[in-house]
Amino acid sequence: MHHPSPHPSRPETWTWREGARPLVVAHRGASALAPENTLAAFRLALEGGAAAVECDVHLSADGAPVVIHDARVDRTTSGTGQVASLTLDELRRLDAGAWFGPAFAGERVPTLGEVVGVCAGRGRLFVELKVGGGPPLVDAALQAVSAAATDVAVISFDPEIVQLVARRRPDLPLGWLLTAGHAAQLGAAGVLRAVTTAGAGFIAPHFSAATPPLIEQAHAAGLPVSVWTVDDPGTMVDLVAAGVDAITTNRPDVALRALPR
């Protein structure tokens, strides 16, 4: 089966498979083993052999692209409130590791630039731009990765963001994230139309929506399929057999054991 690159101009740097194994992408870093979206989690994933890491990006009150999943800081830091209401300095004062375990006390909310630096020369980076961020988030994130010494892909659930990135950085691998419900509503043909109309170069569905017909039709249209978020090794093996090109997981250590090259 042919597994295409979304940007044929860069085939030497963005290949989707490592032999028989799809690209293993560590979701928010090695987030089952370290506090999600911290430098510790990203380092642990890369040191353990993950080919890529994935991070989430919001804007601080003063326009800095910061790496945190939720719109609020409450769940994963010592603080409270909206990310968008806190300046970068205020965010940097929060502890983003102690909630996970005492060994990680003192971890901070990183900037996107810091995550890019951790990945340099070590692995690729999938950057999820959060829904509703609009042009300011796109501009700040693209600036942060403009001189990245690693390969960067952009992903989002937000069609406006996908379209903006497609226009501003057509050279970047760009994926549209799809929930299982959205994929079911659109059907395989509808998914392909929506993704290509938006200008994305690959499909990023929830793993339960990555059916053989969708994968086959995506590949026929030249679109790789990158699924999220899979922690069960048996499911990983089934997805590889179905032909997926990348698997995002909280447990890159499990994926690397279950999916030999």
Tens of pLDDT along the chain (261 residues) come to 434 433 333 334 578 988 889 999 999 999 999 999 999 999 999 999 999 999 999 999 999 999 999 999 999 999 999 999 999 999 999 999 999 999 999 999 999 999 999 999 999 999 999 999 999 999 999 999 998 888 999 999 999 999 999 999 999 999 999 999 999 999 999 999 999 999 999 999 999 999 999 999 999 999 999 999 999 999 999 999 999 999 999 999 999 999 988
Query: Is the residue at 210 inside a domain?
Result: yes
Tokens of 96: 């983003």
At position 15, the amino acid (one-letter code) is T
Whole-angstrom distance, CA of residue 22 vs CA of residue 15: 10
CA separation, residue 82 to residues 29, 85, 132 (Å)? 22, 5, 14
Query: Is the residue at 223 inside a domain?
Result: yes
Query: Is the residue at 191 inside a domain?
Result: yes
pLDDT at site 2? 39
Give DSSP secondary structure letters for the chain: -----S-TT-TTT--SEETTEEEEEEETTTTTTS-TTSHHHHHHHHHTT-SEEEEEEEE-TTS-EEE-SSSBSTTTSS--SBGGGS-HHHHHTS-SSTTT-GGGTT--PPBHHHHHHHHTTT-EEEEEEPTT-HHHHHHHHHHHHTT-SS-EEEEES-HHHHHHHHHH-TTS-EEEEE-HHHHHHHHHHHHHHHHHHHT-SEEEEBGGG--HHHHHHHHHTT--BEEB----HHHHHHHHHHT-SEEEES-HHHHHHHS--
pLDDT at site 69? 98
The answer to whether residues 242 and 212 touch, using CB atoms and an 8 Å cutoff, is: yes
Whole-angstrom distance, CA of residue 60 vs CA of residue 47: 29
Give the CATH number, domain containing residue 137: 3.20.20.190
Residues labelled as active-site residues:
27, 69
CB atoms within 10 A of CB 116: 21
Q: Give how many domains the chain has, as a whole number.
A: 1
Query: Is the residue at 5 inside a domain?
Result: no
Tokens of 121: 């020369």
Query: Is the residue at 83 inside a domain?
Result: no
Whole-angstrom distance, CA of residue 85 vs CA of residue 106: 22
Query: Is the residue at 6 inside a domain?
Result: no
The answer to whether residues 77 and 96 touch, using CB atoms and an 8 Å cutoff, is: yes
Query: Is the residue at 14 inside a domain?
Result: no
Domain that holds residue 28: 22-70+110-258
pLDDT at site 149? 84
Query: Is the residue at 105 inside a domain?
Result: no
pLDDT at site 239? 97
pLDDT at site 89? 98
What global pTM score does this model have? Answer: 0.94
